[in-house]
A and B are shown apart, each in its own frame.
Chain A
């Protein structure tokens, strides 16, 4: 149980830190960015304006401490302010979320599977040709900046070959429906951004998986499995793999922040209207409440995934429950 208490503690501390960072940034940064931005906000109801003023420390006629607690209270009750257009930040995020969830969710799972399987295979055939080529190749590819991969893919498949669209989430003029042609259209638009993300993120997990696997293969229970004459695949996945993957689960969640960052760049590059593109437009519009809401949302997404991974580890690995 100590393991879980510690992890939940870290979850709460990080959440609090993110909320506090959000509160402090407008106050410690030089210049009057927040004041200038809030000055442009029109047509906002007074209560929302007051909430923004205490969050950004502009015209807040109260002590910093009482502002801070009021801000924390607002956040805990799900009030994350309004955008420059007066739309609640959370509903703005909610409307763009499905596109990012689809793109990042699917690509992350695919990349994790590729990286993990490559790690398992190269550890199993350690020292062989596969081991010499696959992990270094995946790792080196993962150091290529994601925007360069995206630019290359656009150049080859959209500009030169004209096979796939340059960007967007579906063709201009198409009406969203569950028809086969529309779904095909959406998939065609998502293919290049997804491919860019898979290419650069598959390498993130390959080395940790390979090395966990090497350590696990040396364990007695794996030898037992082999000695019993079980099929290779059974020992590889059922005995070694399922134990070796445990540390990688947390790694998977931790890397989500990195993947989400990559998705911001890719959504911008492909004008893919998800959260990342929203972040970009918020940046160019200097819509600070929206940016801060997005930052909190990203942090929360990573934190929840880390927590789920921790819970899963606790379920799958009895040792963490005892220690």
Chain B
């Protein structure tokens, strides 16, 4: 494991900081998995931005026959109330994607601050933060999520807050390991010798060397958030008036859509959640290959380290 740390540290500053957007784009296009993930995400973003162009109807118009089977007029049928399922699915993309991205950005930021602070300052700070991270890793996520959500008014804001609280720890642990590996490198020694403050060193000197790992953390969090947000809403801890895939699933489940012969009402949003998660996962899966084609054998070990971090801690 020490070997991986060194190799990571050595390649991180040279390769990733100079990685221009153009090079990144070329790499994405050259990697099948990444390209597939990127296409899925781009389509999702387009749908989220312009739902009105794709969806034939307003998502809440209860003007159709109830529980209609899929037809050319209603691609995925209609709900129990007579809403067009396909239109709901399209309109739900916006809020689902927005919550996923916002929560993941904030959670990645928190895990970065906690992880790098622990690694950089070491000593008692490190030990305290590591214990906090370990505690959050052991606490069962979904029960904690449900408990927190039960106290808050159902809605997107509550959903985002509880997801942030429960999701930062795993990435913080990885970023801490990465932080430890760069801790004693020359450029940090130089910064300390210049008398820079800790917060400056963390944000300006250390964080840029981690851009690749941060992006990977962000993508991994997205996969996780998509699933947990939907699960939480599916269990009824959302606001079923706010259109997201999870609330659609909840409404479908409450109406026993599968048994009622209205399968797409439930399967549609389920598939959408799975697809969005797959998009993030594919991009993440390919991320190491993109960042670092020269280090493939090491990449495998690095992957092991990350996975072991999640598993063993």
Residues of A with Cβ closer than 8 Å to B?
10, 13-14, 17-18, 21, 25-26, 29-31, 33-34, 136, 140, 143-148, 151-152, 154-155, 158-159, 166, 204-205, 207-208, 210-212, 214-215, 247-248, 250-252, 254-258, 260-262, 264-265, 268-269, 279-280, 283-284, 286, 288, 291-292, 294-295, 298-299, 302-303, 306
A291 to B150, Cβ gap below 8 A?
Answer: yes
Decide yes or no: A145 and B227 within 8 Å by CB, A10-B131, A151-B270, A247-B308 being known contacts.
yes
Question: B141 contacts the other chain (Cβ, under 8 Å)?
Answer: yes
Q: Please, which residues of chain B bring their CB within 8 A of the CB of A264?
A: 142-143, 146, 235
Q: Please, which residues of chain B bring their CB within 8 A of the CB of A31?
A: 151-153
Q: Most chain-B CB neighbours within 10 Å: which of A25, A166, A211, A279?
A: A211
B64 to chain A, nearest CB (A): 23
Roughly how many angstroms separate A14 CA and B313 CA in the complex, as a whole number? 14
- Interface membership of chain B positions 138-155, coded 1 if the CB is closer than 8 angstroms to chain A and 0 otherwise: 111111101110111100
Decide yes or no: A291 and B146 within 8 Å by CB, A251-B308, A257-B138 being known contacts.
yes
A184 to chain B, nearest CB (A): 23
Supplied contacts A248-B311, A302-B139, 6 more A-B pairs, CB within 8 Å = A148-B274, A211-B304, A260-B142, A262-B142, A279-B146, A288-B150
Q: Please, which residues of chain A bring their CB within 8 A of the CB of B300?
A: 211, 214
277-313 of chain B: CB within 8 A of chain A: 277-278, 281, 285, 300-301, 303-304, 307-308, 311-313
Question: B77 contacts the other chain (Cβ, under 8 Å)?
Answer: no
Question: B266 contacts the other chain (Cβ, under 8 Å)?
Answer: yes
Question: B271 contacts the other chain (Cβ, under 8 Å)?
Answer: yes
Q: Please, which residues of chain A bring their CB within 8 A of the CB of B281?
A: 140, 143
A150 to chain B, nearest CB (A): 9
Roughly how many angstroms separate A145 CA and B274 CA in the complex, as a whole number? 6
Name 23 A/B residue pairs within 8 A (Cβ), A-sorted: A14-B135, A21-B139, A29-B151, A29-B152, A31-B151, A143-B223, A143-B281, A145-B231, A145-B270, A147-B249, A158-B258, A204-B311, A211-B301, A212-B308, A248-B311, A250-B311, A251-B311, A280-B236, A283-B236, A284-B236, A286-B150, A295-B143, A299-B139
The 8 Å CB contact of B143, one of A13, A148, A152, A298, is A298
Roughly how many angstroms separate A158 CA and B152 CA in the complex, as a whole number? 36
Total residues of chain B contacting the partner, CB 8 A? 51
Residue of B nearest to A159 (CB): B258
Roughly how many angstroms separate A17 CA and B128 CA in the complex, as a whole number? 13
Residue of A nearest to B134 (CB): A10
Decide yes or no: A211 and B151 within 8 Å by CB, A10-B134, A17-B139, A257-B140 being known contacts.
no
Question: B253 contacts the other chain (Cβ, under 8 Å)?
Answer: yes
Roughly how many angstroms separate A14 CA and B223 CA in the complex, as a whole number? 26
Q: Please, which residues of chain B bring their CB within 8 A of the CB of A283?
A: 146, 150, 235-237
225-246 of chain B: CB within 8 A of chain A: 226-227, 230-231, 234-237
The 8 Å CB contact of A207, one of B137, B274, B304, is B304
A13 to B231, Cβ gap below 8 A?
Answer: no
Q: Is the interface of A mostly helix, strand, loop or mixed?
A: helix
A159 to B270, Cβ gap below 8 A?
Answer: no
Residue of A nearest to B136 (CB): A17
B142 to A265, Cβ gap below 8 A?
Answer: yes
Q: Please, which residues of chain A bring their CB within 8 A of the CB of B249?
A: 147
A147 to B231, Cβ gap below 8 A?
Answer: yes
Question: B101 contacts the other chain (Cβ, under 8 Å)?
Answer: no
Residue of B nearest to A309 (CB): B312
Q: Please, which residues of chain A bring their CB within 8 A of the CB of B313?
A: 250, 254
Q: Please, which residues of chain A bring their CB within 8 A of the CB of B266?
A: 151, 155
Question: B69 contacts the other chain (Cβ, under 8 Å)?
Answer: no
B298 to chain A, nearest CB (A): 12
The 8 Å CB contact of B138, one of A33, A260, A306, is A306
Roughly how many angstroms separate A216 CA and B300 CA in the complex, as a whole number? 15
Roughly how many angstroms separate A274 CA and B130 CA in the complex, as a whole number? 34
A323 to chain B, nearest CB (A): 14
A62 to chain B, nearest CB (A): 22
The 8 Å CB contact of B139, one of A14, A147, A154, is A14
B141 to A166, Cβ gap below 8 A?
Answer: no
Q: Please, which residues of chain A bring their CB within 8 A of the CB of B311?
A: 204-205, 208, 247-248, 250-252, 254-255
The 8 Å CB contact of A295, one of B144, B223, B308, is B144
B155 to chain A, nearest CB (A): 13
Question: B259 contacts the other chain (Cβ, under 8 Å)?
Answer: yes
Roughly how many angstroms separate A148 CA and B137 CA in the complex, as a whole number? 25
Q: Please, which residues of chain A bring their CB within 8 A of the CB of B231?
A: 145-147, 261, 265
A166 to chain B, nearest CB (A): 6
A13 to B135, Cβ gap below 8 A?
Answer: yes
114-143 of chain B: CB within 8 A of chain A: 131, 134-135, 137-143
Q: Please, which residues of chain A bring their CB within 8 A of the CB of B236?
A: 280, 283-284
B138 to A299, Cβ gap below 8 A?
Answer: yes
Residue of B nearest to A292 (CB): B147
Question: B76 contacts the other chain (Cβ, under 8 Å)?
Answer: no
Roughly how many angstroms separate A190 CA and B84 CA in the complex, as a whole number? 34
Q: Please, which residues of chain A bring their CB within 8 A of the CB of B223?
A: 143
Q: Please, which residues of chain A bring their CB within 8 A of the CB of B227?
A: 143, 145
Question: B267 contacts the other chain (Cβ, under 8 Å)?
Answer: yes
Q: Please, which residues of chain A bring their CB within 8 A of the CB of B150?
A: 33, 283, 286, 288, 291
Roughly how many angstroms separate A143 CA and B259 CA in the complex, as a whole number? 26
Question: B273 contacts the other chain (Cβ, under 8 Å)?
Answer: yes
Q: Please, which residues of chain A bring their CB within 8 A of the CB of B140?
A: 256-258, 260-261, 295, 298-299, 302
B143 to A207, Cβ gap below 8 A?
Answer: no
